[in-house]
């Protein structure tokens, strides 16, 4: 009998211990989830702790203000307005992906114990501006960190030193494409617009694809310090595209806001033209100055008629560009070039580099549109130039057969 009682007691003790183990596991899971959320919020919100007014393209009498801050281990979101003062001070309880790139869903509890959700994202994945959307208090607004300093003014247009077409060096394609292993990131800036896109190149640096990231207008800027600028512009929505740009020298800038990491870009003027009477299709793949390490091969006529290196494009169009300036001693490096693939055809826009000595010495008005010509290679491999008046395309160079 004693043995049976002892056995039952041991079994009961084992059964009683299971809920305790489950509670410990649940506590551990909750602690891990809290730590993961806290770490993710630290990364997301640490750059957003300043009090920032909402961005508005029109004057609003009662601007909203957003601020994230951390009290101990707890992140908060504070919403206020110019007229009403503090509207809410909410605790952020958790964070998860909203299923869209760079968009996160916060679960919050307001200072009146109201539970609600909020969508947050850093525009372009960078830390220049963010968007907040929540039905609570009907907030759908953008906030630009540069507006933290409310005494700083936005000026229409862009600084002359930033105008032109800028490009990164060839880098590895993040999509791990074996057919198109290289990419270049381009940023084109005029006095009123910006245009960013990514070109994909094959192993010989011949252009095959172009992927547009943004086309914007209504451009304005702030000068934050010597050689440092913030640019904002808009596409078809009210969401701003914001770049933080540092001028390294006359031909090099560092841009934050194109991607989640800063990028160094140079004026996309090519090296001096090589033998200009060469057929760009059958000549060896010279590439640009950054492409000299690529294996030199003969391109196959027909299969590569629309796929040229950036340098080959410049070589081909240069006689046409030079003819526009019969009384000026211009060179190919006095211009910037913007090659893109559109609907299977290669297009290239040519822009004056108003910082080039030849234009400064000639006292060219820096406020004029720098775009001087547009070309494309048609499906027959012929070079065409666009008539700036009619918009029609005219063949200006026939590819010679070798």
The pLDDT tens digits for 274-307 are 554 444 443 333 333 333 333 323 333 334 567 8
State whether 199 and 81 are in the same domain.
no
Contact 377, 281 (CB under 8 A): no
Note down the domain range covering 102: 47-148
State whether 177 and 137 are in the same domain.
no
Residues lower than pLDDT 50 in the chain: 6-8, 10-11, 15-16, 26, 28-32, 276-303, 401-402
Domain count of the fold of the chain: 2
Question: Mind listing the pLDDT tens digit for each residue in 132-174?
Answer: 999 999 999 999 999 998 778 899 999 989 998 999 999 999 8
Question: Domain for residue 24, yes or no?
Answer: no
Report the length, in residues, of the chain: 402
The number of helices, as runs of H, and strands, as runs of E, in the chain is 3, 23
Which pLDDT value is given to residue 300?
33
Extract long-range pairs of 148-157: CB within 8 Å, 24+ residues apart.
Answer: 148/50, 148/51, 148/52, 150/53, 152/222, 152/224, 153/222, 154/220, 154/221, 154/222, 154/232, 155/220, 155/221, 155/222, 155/223, 156/219, 156/220, 157/191, 157/192, 157/219, 157/220, 157/221
Question: Domain for residue 2, yes or no?
Answer: no
State whether 170 and 115 are in the same domain.
no
State whether 278 and 365 are in the same domain.
yes
State whether 87 and 138 are in the same domain.
yes
The DSSP call for residue 175 is T
Question: Domain for residue 240, yes or no?
Answer: yes
**The token pair that represents 268 in the structure block:** 């996309």
Please spell the DSSP secondary structure of 315-367, one letter per residue: HHHHHHHHTT-TTS---GGGEEEEEEEETTEEEEEEEE-TTSHHHHHTT--TT
């Amino acid at each position: 009998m004693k043995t049976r009682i002892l056995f039952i007691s041991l079994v009961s003790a084992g059964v009683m211990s299971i809920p305790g183990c489950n509670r410990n596991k649940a506590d551990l899971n909750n602690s891990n989830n809290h730590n993961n959320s806290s770490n993710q919020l630290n990364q997301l919100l640490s750059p957003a702790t300043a009090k920032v007014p909402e961005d508005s393209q029109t004057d609003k009498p009662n601007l909203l203000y957003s601020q994230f801050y951390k009290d101990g281990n707890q992140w908060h979101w504070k919403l206020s307005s110019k007229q009403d003062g503090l509207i809410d001070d909410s605790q952020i309880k958790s964070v998860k992906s909203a299923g869209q790139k760079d968009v996160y869903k916060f679960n919050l509890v307001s200072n009146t114990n109201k539970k609600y959700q909020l969508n947050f994202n850093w525009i372009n994945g960078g830390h220049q501006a963010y968007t907040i959307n929540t039905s609570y208090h009907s907030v759908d607004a953008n906030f630009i960190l540069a507006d933290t300093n409310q005494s700083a003014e936005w000026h229409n247009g862009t600084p002359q030193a930033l105008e032109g077409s800028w490009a990164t060096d060839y880098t590895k394609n993040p999509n791990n494409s074996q057919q198109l292993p290289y990419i270049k990131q381009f940023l084109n800036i005029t006095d009123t617009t910006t245009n960013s896109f990514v070109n994909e190149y094959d192993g010989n640096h011949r252009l095959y694809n172009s992927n547009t990231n943004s086309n914007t207008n209504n451009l304005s800027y702030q000068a934050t310090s010597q050689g440092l600028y913030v640019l904002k512009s808009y596409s078809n929505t009210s969401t701003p595209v914001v770049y933080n740009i540092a001028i390294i020298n006359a031909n090099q800038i560092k841009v934050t806001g194109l991607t989640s990491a800063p990028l160094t870009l140079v004026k996309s003027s090519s090296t001096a033209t090589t033998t200009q009477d060469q057929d760009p299709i059958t000549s060896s793949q010279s590439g640009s100055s950054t492409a000299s390490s690529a294996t030199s091969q003969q391109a196959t006529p027909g299969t590569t008629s629309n796929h040229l290196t950036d340098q080959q494009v410049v070589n081909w169009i240069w006689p046409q560009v030079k003819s526009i300036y019969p009384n000026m001693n211009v060179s190919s490096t006095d211009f910037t070039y913007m090659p893109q693939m559109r609907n299977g055809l290669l297009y290239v826009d040519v822009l004056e580099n108003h910082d080039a000595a030849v234009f400064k010495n000639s006292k060219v008005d820096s406020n004029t549109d720098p775009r001087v010509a547009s070309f494309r290679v048609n499906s027959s491999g012929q070079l065409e130039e666009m008539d700036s008046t009619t918009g029609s395309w005219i063949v200006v160079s026939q590819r010679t057969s070798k």
